[in-house]
Copies of this chain bind each other. A is one copy, B any other.
């Protein structure tokens, strides 16, 4: 006999606490899925710096827990529950990053690692208080959107600076967040979220790109430019 459930008093599906590694896997899988393709074993292994064999094993456990759908040799996809968990972790991570920058004077190049550890032990209450304390930010310091408490996220895709049309005025919306050295360099170029930037020349054979940030003209490689997401400025 199944339990009769009232209107909205579903006894809370008890999202029993996930381990830190599990949360890391889910975040990684989410990132690959957002880029279209299902997450391949090797991709996950590389991103988390662990052996591919370990991923096979863990992914089995994730499937047992109903967090991913798994077909041997076919890669993994998040289930609805897995996606919820991934977004919860992502929210924690990004709120923490924003809080460290806005409330504790951290530089945007040094928040990632700290957040990477704290995201696994901070309670939802703490995250909500942090968010409230800095005015409910919508993005983290690198421009990445912060999922809401309810688990929704603004997934609008963006162009990279490398792909921007020459001569078009654009605005930086987001930059890669993991490499502190890159972040310091981007900062020195003025390439921060919100900054206006125009691609003025693309040298052939994957050569350097010429960009104008504010009134300064700079040269950057395509690799760097591809880590900078931009939106065209509607003026």
Residues in chain A within 8 A of chain B (CB atoms): 100, 103-106, 114, 117-118, 120-123, 125-126, 129-130, 133
**6 contacting pairs across A/B (C-beta < 8 A):** A100-B126, A104-B130, A104-B133, A105-B129, A114-B125, A117-B121
- Contact yes or no, B122 A118, CB < 8 A: yes
- Contact yes or no, A104 B129, CB < 8 A: yes
Give Cα A24–Cα B122 distance, bound, in whole angstroms. Answer: 18
**Known A-B contacts A120-B121, A121-B120, A121-B121; A126 and B114 likewise in contact (beta carbons under 8 Å):** yes
Closest to A133 in B: B104
- The distance from the CB of A208 to the nearest CB of chain B, in whole angstroms, is 36
Closest to A123 in B: B114
Looking at A104, A105, A117, A125, the one whose CB has the most chain B CB atoms below 10 A away is A104
- The distance from the CB of A17 to the nearest CB of chain B, in whole angstroms, is 10
- Contact yes or no, A104 B120, CB < 8 A: no
- The distance from the CB of A53 to the nearest CB of chain B, in whole angstroms, is 24
**Known A-B contacts A105-B129, A130-B104; A121 and B118 likewise in contact (beta carbons under 8 Å):** yes
Give Cα A123–Cα B117 distance, bound, in whole angstroms. Answer: 9
A133 — which chain B residues lie within 8 A by C-beta? 103-104
A118 — which chain B residues lie within 8 A by C-beta? 118, 121-122
- The distance from the CB of A101 to the nearest CB of chain B, in whole angstroms, is 11
Give Cα A103–Cα B130 distance, bound, in whole angstroms. Answer: 9
Closest to A113 in B: B123
Give Cα A147–Cα B130 distance, bound, in whole angstroms. Answer: 26
Give Cα A103–Cα B99 distance, bound, in whole angstroms. Answer: 12
A104 — which chain B residues lie within 8 A by C-beta? 126, 129-130, 133
A106 — which chain B residues lie within 8 A by C-beta? 129
Give Cα A176–Cα B137 distance, bound, in whole angstroms. Answer: 37
A122 — which chain B residues lie within 8 A by C-beta? 114, 117-118
Closest to A100 in B: B126
A125 — which chain B residues lie within 8 A by C-beta? 114
A129 — which chain B residues lie within 8 A by C-beta? 104-106
Closest to A118 in B: B121
Give Cα A59–Cα B120 distance, bound, in whole angstroms. Answer: 27
- The distance from the CB of A105 to the nearest CB of chain B, in whole angstroms, is 7
Give Cα A105–Cα B122 distance, bound, in whole angstroms. Answer: 16
Give Cα A122–Cα B100 distance, bound, in whole angstroms. Answer: 12
